[in-house]
Amino acid sequence: MKILLVEDDNFLSHGLQMALQETGHAVELSKDGAEADLLLAASTYDLVVLDLELPHMDGLEVLQRLRKRGHSTPVLILTAREGVKNRVQGLDLGANDYLTKPFELAELEARIRALLRKEHWGNQIEIVHGNLRFDPGGRRVYVDEESVDLSVREITVLELLLRRAGRVVNKDQLLDELASQEFELTYNALEIVMHRLRKKLERSQLSIRTLRGLGYVFGKA
């Protein structure tokens, strides 16, 4: 894959270039915001890894101009500034993901993989967790390759949890997303769905945990 890496720190950018090349990507390096903007306008990349504090043009502006030109190239932001406000601003301007420095190389690689996968196959890729397999095309769930009989509502809830496996999914968030997919559920109805899902997935190596006051987590049992 062709990746544009925009980072003005020589030490970090060379390390990242080496690491991404090692993974098999073609990496082009730019140390200047304005230059990156020109490169993005001139050629197409599969992914952009973008630092925010850049000479000549701020990373957020590079991103904004890219999106204004109608490009949907996935953008992963790297920044030394933390905080919800910065993250929100970046994501609002059309960034696809956000990493705060310093980060684990493995984490960066995983996020890049996820972004490239989404970009190429959309949401059509299978999700596998242990002995559980989810086929988004056929909307079927398999445990040990045996199909599990789930209602449409249960599948929708499970898919939302699977896509955020290991992370906490807030109840309100879950209900909002279900509502946007034409499933108006109450708190109680959601609890019943969770109860049924747990029973039906008993044989899988994964489970849905309730974190009181916080939401649900789909993860290792």
Partner 1 sequence: MNNRNKYSIKTQLLSSLLIPLFCLSLLSAAVIYWLAINMSQGIHDELLLSAADSVLARINLVNNKVVVDLPEAAQALLKHHDKDKFYYEISKADGTCVFGENLFPNVAGTPGTMAPICRDDVIRGERVRIAAVDFPMPELNGRYLVVEVAETYNSRNGMAHQILLSVIILQTLFMICGAIAIWFGIGRGTAPLQAMREAIANRNPYDLQPLTIGYAPEEITPLVDAINLVLSQLRSHIDAQARFTSNAAHQLRTPLAGIKTYVGLGAKISKESKVVEIFEKVNGGIDRMTHLVNRLLTLARIERTIAQPGANIILDLNTIASDAITELVSYSMNREIQIDYFPSDAPAYISGDSASLRDLVANLVHNAICYTPENGQITVLIQNSEFIELIVDDSGPGIPLESREKVFERFYRVLGTNVEGSGLGLSIVREIVEAHRGKIELQDSPLGGLRVLVLLNKVYDLNAHSHELKKNEQNLISSA
24 binds partner 1 (CB under 8 A): no
Contacts of 209 (CB under 8 A, 6+ apart): 216, 217, 218, 219
Q: Which stretch binds partner 1 (CB under 8 A): 59-67, 79-87, 113-121, 181-189?
A: 79-87
121 binds partner 1 (CB under 8 A): no
Nearest to partner 1 of 78, 155 (CB atom): 78
78 binds partner 1 (CB under 8 A): yes
Nearest to partner 1 of 140, 209 (CB atom): 209
Nearest to partner 1 of 19, 185 (CB atom): 19
Contacts of 22 (CB under 8 A, 6+ apart): none
How many CA atoms, within 13 angstroms, populate the side-chain half-sphere of residue 154?
18
Instruction: Kindly write out the interface string for residues 196-215 of this chain, putting x where it contacts partner 1 by CB under 8 A and - elsewhere.
Output: -------------x-xxxxx
Minimum separation from the CB atom of position 216 to partner 1 (A): 10
- The correct pick among 167, 195, 198, 203 for binding partner 1 (CB under 8 A) is 167
- The correct pick among 24, 85, 182, 188 for binding partner 1 (CB under 8 A) is 85
Nearest to partner 1 of 43, 210 (CB atom): 210
Question: How many residues bind to partner 1 according to rule CB under 8 A?
Answer: 40
**Of 150, 147, 166, nearest to 158 (Cα)?**
150
- The correct pick among 39, 57, 105, 185 for binding partner 1 (CB under 8 A) is 105
Q: How far apart are the first and last CA of the chain?
A: 36
**Of 10, 6, 58, nearest to 36 (Cα)?**
6
Residues 52 to 71 in contact with partner 1, rule: CB under 8 A:
none
- The correct pick among 2, 38, 41, 101 for binding partner 1 (CB under 8 A) is 101
Long-range contacts of 81-85 (CB under 8 A, 24+ apart): 81/52, 81/53
Asked if 218 and 162 count as a contact pair (C-beta separation under 8 A), the reply is: yes
Minimum separation from the CB atom of position 22 to partner 1 (A): 6
**Of 152, 135, 145, 162, nearest to 193 (Cα)?**
152
How many CA atoms, within 13 angstroms, populate the side-chain half-sphere of residue 190?
23
Asked if 100 and 79 count as a contact pair (C-beta separation under 8 A), the reply is: yes
Q: What are phi and psi of 180, to 5 degrees?
A: -70, -20
User: Which residues contribute to the site for partner 1 (CB under 8 A)?
Assistant: 9, 11-12, 15-16, 18-19, 22, 78, 80-85, 87-88, 92, 100-106, 108, 166-168, 170, 173, 209, 211-215, 217, 219-220
